[in-house]
Structure 1
Amino acid sequence: MNVKSLLVTGALASGMVAGFVTGAFALDYRKADVAQLQGLDKITARISTFEVPVGQSVNFGSLTIKVDACYRTPPEERPESAGFLEIIDHRSEDKTDVEVFDGWMFASTPGLSALEHPVYDVWVKECLNAGDEAPSGDDAMPPENNG
């Protein structure tokens, strides 16, 4: 085999491997009705879990969190949820509204696309449908909902 045919063979082989790997890890996302979020108040160290229907907003401290979309994988695949969030901070010191986050958050990798805020952390826990079981306990109480 000469060098040229060796390079062509290598390129074809790596292309097939890349195609196989990409297809093997592609997830089948399906729409969900509700995003289950968690928020951490860094001052009080209190974690709140709340559910927000897609298209609606919720207040968490000085933040307003709007869920624009929520998707999850089916049960037979690797569990993953992704939500598209818009987060606005209503700052009291200068009475301005500042968009602090606008994008996708993934439940399995919250650090990949995270809210950077000095007081609050917010992340997607999972995406649910109307028939799914709600969490139990005190932390299942949602903050004030705004539709």
Structure 2
Amino acid sequence: MKPVAAALCAVLAATPLMAQDAAEGIVTSRAQGVLLRGLDKVSGRTTDIPLAVGEAARYGRLEIRLGECRYPAADPSSDAFAQLTISDLRQNARLFSGWMIASSPALSALDDARYDVWVISCQS
């Protein structure tokens, strides 16, 4: 894991309701859900995937589960940090487990030959 992502994950997990990113001074709040966008690289079609905390959705052969979504308390529309677990149902394998950041999708991305999934925003 890259140092910035590791530091962000540690900070976000530090307190149950709010977390402070020491490097950026960002206080985050929890949201009730997330809006993800999926891309099928074969067809070129994108799909919006709304998820509530604790829910799972199926996207092609993937199962996407949301642990939590956080956003900057001072500016909710500026960024989103989602804790996701993405599994391949055909291979019964976990492809991704961790935090995805809306403003830096390549920082911690799903590595799959057919599908891309990224965070759009937290949803209240």
Same fold (TM over 0.5): yes
Gaps of 5+ in 2: 1-20
- Establish whether residue 34 from structure 1 lines up as the match of residue 58 from structure 2: no
Deviation at 1:77, TM superposition (A): 7.0
Query: Given the alignment, which residue of 101, 105, 119 partners 1:110?
Result: 105
Q: Any residues of structure 2 matched to 1:1-147 within 5 Å, and which?
A: 25-76=24-75, 79-91=78-90, 96-129=91-124
Identity %: 34
Provide structure 1 residue ranges, at least 5 long, that are not aligned to the other structure. 1-21, 130-147
**Aligned pairs, number:** 104
* TM-score normalized by the length of structure 2: 0.78
Is the 2:27–2:74 contact (alpha carbons within 8 Å) kept by the matching residues of 1? no
Task: List 4+ stretches of structure 1 deviating above 2 A.
Answer: 22-25, 74-78
Structure 1 64/28 Cα, relative in aligned 2: closer, same or farther at 3 Å? same
- Structure with bigger strand share is 2
When you count helix as a share of all residues, which structure comes out higher? Answer: 1
Distance change >3 Å, CA 27–CA 43, structure 1 → 2: same
For residues 105 and 112 of structure 1, the distance between their equivalents in structure 2, rounded to whole angstroms, comes to 8
